[in-house]
Structure 1
Amino acid sequence: MAGHDSWPPPVRRFLLSTRAGRIGLLVPRLCMAAWRSRGLHALWAALVWTFRSRDIASRSYHTTRLNQDELCWTIAAVTRIPIERIMGWRDEILADDDLARHVRRAVESSPERWSHDPDYRLGRRLAYYLLTRALRPKRVIEAGVDRGFGAVLILRALERNAAEGSPGEYLGIDRKPEADAFLYTAYPARRGRIQCGDAAAILRGLPGDGSLIIHDTGIEPTHLAAFTAALDAMLADDTVVISSWLRPDFMDLARRRSRGFLGHKDSAPGHWKPPSRMSFIFPAGRQDQRDAMRTELP
């Protein structure tokens, strides 16, 4: 729910961490979902979600198998990795019962269990896992960590990459402290860190080479302009960027820097949320390098 991080701490604790708070949020959650819904079917889904789900926003949702296939083909185009491998990694993470149990345990033991669903629903974050597995990046930078669901998927991919001889590190960036990302902090094999602060300011001091950069923060114009400027300054030959938003700013950046650009829209059956429209910015015209990477993968 937009703006909940700016609530006064006592109000935030009551609304997000208690059964009574969940009841108190029923009407605001229904209003938010109804306002963002499109059509009568989505309005009914919003009503069902309000009473069945604990989420205060559309944090987790299932996507269709066909939509996942479409995402796999997009990732294959971005990375030049054979589609069979991409789909294999998709099946690998969807069948990860250990990670699903971690998510459920971490949510149920968190003070915010009344405002977060414990279900293992990857949604757009499936793309984070697939890109990390395919690119074998030296570092994954995630701007916008929230409760850490995307982070644990990235960590799982980094863990498997390291076991196959391609170690990498994780850096999360968020305006909230690391302790708020309880799915990340409770993960037993976590690596890297979460840095509290402004994403654009932190990016300006980082190298871009060997990096996968994930943008999952807001799109307020001033912030987005600063973020894309920071990206422009740090892009290396092999940097790949994914954003959970499809915006002209990213298309303009790709055109200026002679990069490839693709978009992808997810599909969440039975959910009220409008589809996420993701952006991918990736190196173009480097077939020789991608072919070498493809032959080296196990």
Structure 2
Amino acid sequence: MDGTNFRRAIARTRLAPVAAFPKRFMRVARHDARVIGVSAKWLLTSREHHNFTYDLTTLSREHLAWFVSVTCDVPVGQVRTYLAEIEQDETLRQHIARATSTAERRGLADRRVRYARRIGWYAIVRAIRPTHIVETGVDKGLGTCVLASALLRNAADGDPGRVTSLDINPEAGYLAKSEPWASVVDLVIGDSLASIKQLDRPVDLFLHDSDHHTKHERREFSTVEPKLAPGARLITDNVTVTNVLAEHAEKTGRRFLAYRETPAQHWYPGDGIGIAW
């Protein structure tokens, strides 16, 4: 009996689990060793404690391009061009690195500039050319800078717009307080729900990235609904945390799609983008 037939014979006996155990153990061990190695490197080299930044795998980036293409009804080749724009924007990269190195909270931020799924935000703004974006949850302002960069590119093409960025923390948004990005950003400090109620112009793109508890997220979407322009899109970041936007889309007669990112060489499993349109 050759080796293949012998293994097949063992697989049909009660010894099968015992015989398979070494192979199963080695697969788990190799996986865990990679995870531990990546985690240990991150602990020693990174300063971040939340809102982790990283690059996407090549495959994940390609899936993101198709996600934006489908939800914004633009050719995928054009989306790839938009993704390349933000990734190759050296002026923005240098600004973020400098601003991070001199910030009061630089001990909790990495100088290396990585956007993760935020490149998808950029591509969406470039694709749909919104006049007014509202973003809730700003933190350092990395995402705000990405949105502002897309708006500046749109303005150069003849389609100007602004982003209203809402956060309850008075220290939020320090990366977005420099020109030229600040020229298209209105940073509002205060409760997001109260700030949304005070909006005085229609919203073409709403991005929820603040408190991801179900109740608060649901209240943000219901509060902004009367403020939306015709054809407005709704986005939720960290879409793996709740199903709120999907439920809101169904309730309001919209379509919904979610994208799950895959970080490259990072212990964090990643999150995603949900969009209703």
Q: TM (normalized to structure 2)?
A: 0.82
Q: CA 1:266 to 1:220, structure 2 compared with 1: closer, same or farther past 3 Å?
A: same
The question of 1:223 aligning with 2:216 is answered yes
Structure 2: runs of 5 or more not aligned: 1-30
Shift, 1:44, TM fit: 3.6
Deviation readout 1:183-215 (Å, 9 max, x if unpaired): 111344422311111212222333674511111
SS at match of 2:221: helix
Larger radius of gyration: 2
After TM superposition, the structure 1 stretch with the greater mean CA deviation from structure 2, 198-207 or 58-67, is 198-207
Looking at structure 2, the residues matched to 256 and 236 of structure 1 have their Cα atoms a distance apart, in angstroms, of 18
Please, which of 274, 277, 280 is the counterpart of residue 275 of structure 2? 280
Q: Could you report, residue by residue, the CA deviation over 1:40-76 in whole angstroms, capped at 9, with x for unpaired residues? A: 6434422221111011224311101221111111111
2:224 and 2:269 map into 1 onto residues whose CA distance is 27
Match of 1:263 in 2: 258
Deviations 1:76-133 (A, max 9, x none): 1111111111111111111111111111111111122211001121101111111111
Which digits, 9 at most, give the CA deviation of each residue in 1:224-266, with x for residues without a partner? 2321321333344211111113232111110111111000000
Contact 1:102 1:187 in 2 (8 A): no
**Counterpart-to-counterpart distance in 2, 1:91 and 1:277:** 19
Which SS does the other structure have where 1:239 is aligned? Answer: strand
Residue of structure 2 equivalent to 1:17 = none
Asked whether the 8 Å contact 1:132–1:154 carries over to 2, the reply is yes
Native 8 Å contact 1:209 1:239 kept in 2:
no
Distance (Å, rounded) in 1 between the aligned partners of 2:248 and 2:188: 25
The correspondence of residues 1-298 of structure 1 with structure 2, limited to 5 A, is 41-177=34-170, 179-190=171-182, 191-206=184-199, 209=202, 211-246=204-239, 247-282=242-277
Equivalent residues of 2:60, 2:261 under 8 A apart = yes
Give the stretch that moved more between structures: 144-153 or 52-61.
Answer: 52-61
| In structure 1, distance between residues paired with 2:38 and 2:209 | 25
Aligned length, in residue pairs: 244
Farther off after superposition, 81-90 or 245-254: 245-254
Contact 1:201 1:230 in 2 (8 A): no
* Structure 1 portions without partners, runs of 5+: 1-37, 283-298
Gap change, CA 1:204 and 1:237, over 3 Å in 2:
same
For residues 164 and 221 of structure 2, the distance between their equivalents in structure 1, rounded to whole angstroms, comes to 18
Partners of 2:108 and 2:124 lie apart in 1 by 29
Q: Distance in 1 between matches of 2:203 and 2:228?
A: 10
Structure 1 match to 2:7: none
The amino acid of 1:269's aligned partner reads: A
Q: Percent identity?
A: 26
Cα distance in 2, alignment partners of residues 40 and 203 from structure 1: 47
Q: Tell me how far apart the structure 1 counterparts of residues 42 and 197 of structure 2 sit (CA, whole Å).
A: 40
Taking the aligned partners of 1:83 and 1:210, their CA distance within structure 2 comes to 25
The Cα RMSD (Å) is 1.9
- In the superposition, the TM-score normalised over structure 1's length comes to 0.77
Counterpart secondary structure, 2:117:
helix
